Structure 1
Amino acid sequence: MFSDVGKKKMKSLQLGLWGITLACAVGCTDYASSWKFDNPTVRRIQEKETVRHITDDNQKTRIKEYIGKRVRIVFSEGGTELPDEIHTAGRAAALTQDGYFITAYHVVQDRAFYIEQTNMIRRPPSRGFKTSEISRYFSSSRHRGRLVWSNPDADLAILKFPIEGHPYFNLLEANPTKEQIVFSADDEGYGSSPADKRGEVRRENLVGNGVFFAAGSVLDGPDKFLPATASTFSTSLVARRGMSGAPLVTADFKLCGVLSRMEGFGRFQSLRTVAATIDPSLIEDLVADDRDQQTRQRSNKMEDSEVSIPLEWRPMIRDIVKAFTKGDYRLSVPVPGVLPIDPGTSAQIQEYIEEYSEELIELPDETWETSVAQYQGSKRWEFLVDLWTAESGSSDMVLHGEVEEGANGPTLKVGLVYVP
């Protein structure tokens, strides 16, 4: 029999364990649905399981760095589990350099979602920090995504974001074997949480969206009751809130699945993490089909007509204009997906902007309302983007360019800057 203190400790441990359930939208228990935040107890349990499978710090660092570069935090709006001011979050693993990712379906189910590329400028203090100080520690950019494909039964989804040049998992493993060691990690992100009454955000209260490294072993193979192309398997790896959709990777750096949920099994309801996996050939087919479909749709709807600048191009065009505002007309820092600017073109652009005698500024969101693209056939486009100045806002100047659609995404060629 437990004493009252022992019962309280046992109940606290149960709450902590069940609180790391990753699929609250699917069969969540009462105390799982009421558990809102990451906590030190879960982290200790995760660390204990991890050290059972990896003790070499150098190997741990290599695996964490490899995975961390290929995973991004996905935020989904309109969640019901958390207060309105908090956006629920999960992870997604990069499948291609041009913005295709795989995640757990429940991360984005029936919600608008976006990827927030966050860079840590410096490590925040362990005591926490004020919301007004967040720019001291982090810089970020936000890109909305779309759902390409989903399999709710296996809790899998493929997403597309308008980003280029992203590191990705080029080795995939569809059939992890029993007792095989697997890893998951992310080296960015400290989560999101409302500030307290003093305006401080404390790291221990962040919604589970922080840096992590976890290891475990495969407990059983793919679920025979699901289609062979998309299935699930369980592992001993201990996950915590915010890790949904995070990549599961083998010791030889092969992506073998994404984290889906925690569930109990056996007489004493021990916990295990369920991962979702997919046939690599299906990923290739789905991505290729989506690229073709997007090209066909643009071709059918846009040939001989002007349309808005596609979302995928906008980050590249923003970076080009940003460089111009700094006097960098040759793009000394390459922009992924953009061809180098030849000396003659860069000289014309510099001369025209300087003669315009107003200060060029970075593109605001409003510029896309008046900027246009036109399909020229053979997967080639031309575009005109309105440029903005500090004095006039939207100016008479435009940036002309060409875009060619390719197997690895769009390639942009900068044209001239002029007044039509």
Structure 2
Amino acid sequence: MMLALLGLAIAVLLVLRVPVAIAFLGPSLVYMMANNHSPGSALREVANAADSFPLLAVPLFILLGALANHAGIADRLFRFAMAAFASVRGNLGYVSVGVSLGFSWMSGSAVADAAALGKVEIPAMLRNGYSRRFATGVVASSSLIAPVMPPSIPAVIFSGLAAVSTGALFAASVIPALLMTLGLGIVVFFLVRRQPNIVRGKFDREEFMASLKGVVLPLLAPIIILGGILGGIFTPTEAAAVGVMYMLLLGLIQRTLTWSGLVAAIKETVLTTCGIMLIVASASLLGYILARERLPQTLTEAMFGFTDNPTVFLALVVLLALVLGTVIDATAILVLVVPILMPIAIQYGVNPISFGVLLIISLMIGLLTPPVGTVLFVVSAVSKTRIGEVFRGSLPFTIPFLVIVVLIVFFPDAVQLLPNMLGL
């Protein structure tokens, strides 16, 4: 009864658009006190959730992406991609996808990708005859590469919650992220055929070489970070710190990062980190309550009573993630469901790394679905476009994401290819 009231209270607060962290934390504190737990013990549980060394990589990766943004890396990637694809019909669509892939190696956040690239790419597409629906849709959907391709902030959070190797999860995410990029490129190919007014230029070798020089050093950052992690040289947290130092030195030496830009990057990092950690802490307290009420054991018994097929289990997890992703922030869902679903997945014989990749991709689709759809709001604000128009523009681009999810459901061990090759 108490658990049902707790769930009802949280649902009402979420419907009233109360911030997720507060919607979780408030009813959870009331529940704890109603069950004779002191507020101190509840707050101790909240503090312990945030006191995690693996989670230290989260603010560092956020800072890395913010520094890259304020150092003009996104602009340089855009210039290089434009020079490389200048003569290709629909070049700006492919450029949007390609630049998102390049920026994802330094960002790890879909929101950061959409905000940084949207203000450059969308106006360029509109000037060159692309429809507003296509421009906003391709930018919004391309940003989902960032939280899947390492360094991925959701992957760091998942690995900390599930006690799995972050390096192995990073390696397993590479092929799905590349498939997402390829799938988006295929959708662009078909959609630009319906864009009769688009303008394309001519390949300029001098511009190409000049723009290439501008991206060589920045693109060494992901090589240092991922190479260090996958090669066993750094832990993810150490690699994030090294990446931040490299980007900071690069921006100051090349004078592309001003002091005001540095201060702005630090402010963005602090605000974003506080938001994420507040969600992590509040969702952890709710998770503690659910564990205390033996919800994981109840769900395990119900699942095995329903099916003993791991494929069916994974399909149900995907449906759950897609539904929850429409109304709750992805970080909160991870913190809430991983401790519950991971033991069940192991009992079904599902590899934890495969499960993590599948869950992350499924949850990221929620960034493009209202009413929460964080990326939709960001792109809408950047482009001054109605959210409904952005959503309709992004719908065709969700097809490859769903195809990849289905493939992982039926062939979960396929994502283990790269980790196995690297011995992770």
TM-score normalised over the length of structure 2? 0.25
Q: Which has the higher contact order (CA 8 A, sep 6+)?
A: 2
More helix by share: 2
- The structure whose Rg is larger is 1
